[in-house]
Amino acid sequence: EDVVVSGVALDKNQAKIAVSDLPDKPGSAAKVFKALGDANVIVDMIVQNIGRGGAANLTFTVSKDDVHRAVEAVEKVLSEMGGGAANYVGDIAKVSIVGVGMRSHAGVAATLFSILADHEVNIQMISTSEIRISVAIDLADADKAAQAVHDGFELDQ
């Protein structure tokens, strides 16, 4: 597949919440997101990586207005589950490149990550799909990063 990166998207209204020491067994993630759904929290990125010793960390982002409601809803369900902690980590910006054929190219990801590295932007989260690679970065780097990615992939205005 030829890769065609057709655009850059930037969302500066997100906050990152980390759920740590979640029991790594069926049902845990369902309970956390049911609590968020019931609290009418709009969730954007959901990222879970490798678990260790029976516990997993799960990170998600919400719009800044929903942070306190989200943390409250998750802490309540975690105490019912008898494990884990939820923390508001900070405000992030989500920078995404969108296009076709992204999935099969480690090279496209490497290009995006190199552009960010050249501008001293640290990557906090990564989430990919067939047509999109998204990274969470410090909110303070948002505009610089979006401009650098836009120029780096030579996208039209």
Residues that bind ligand THR in the complex, under the rule CB under 6 A: 22, 24-30, 48, 56, 58, 113, 122-123
Q: Is 146 in the site for its own copies (CB under 8 A)?
A: no
CB-side neighbour CA atoms (13 Å) of 88: 16
Q: Indicate the residue among 48 and 91 with the shorter CB distance to its own copies.
A: 48
- The least distance separating ligand THR from the CB of residue 157, rounded to whole angstroms, comes to 27
Q: Which of 76, 117, 147, 151 binds its own copies (CB under 8 A)?
A: 117
Window contacting its own copies (CB under 8 A); options: 46-54, 78-86, 147-155: 46-54
Query: Which phi and psi (to 5°) does residue 53 adopt?
Result: 55, 40
SS3 at position 48: strand
The C-alpha angle with vertex 60 and arms to 88 and 12, in degrees rounded to 5, equals 80
Q: E strands of the chain, at which residues? A: 4-23, 43-48, 55-63, 85-100, 125-129, 132-138
With 0-12 CB in 10 A as exposed, 13-18 as middle and 19+ as buried, what is 3?
Answer: middle
Q: Which of 2, 107, 156, 157 binds its own copies (CB under 8 A)?
A: 107
Name the amino acid, one letter, at 84: G
Q: Is 125 in the site for its own copies (CB under 8 A)?
A: yes
Q: Which of 114, 143, 147, 151 binds its own copies (CB under 8 A)?
A: 114
Contact mark string toward its own copies, 62..101, x via CB under 8 A: ---------------------------x------------
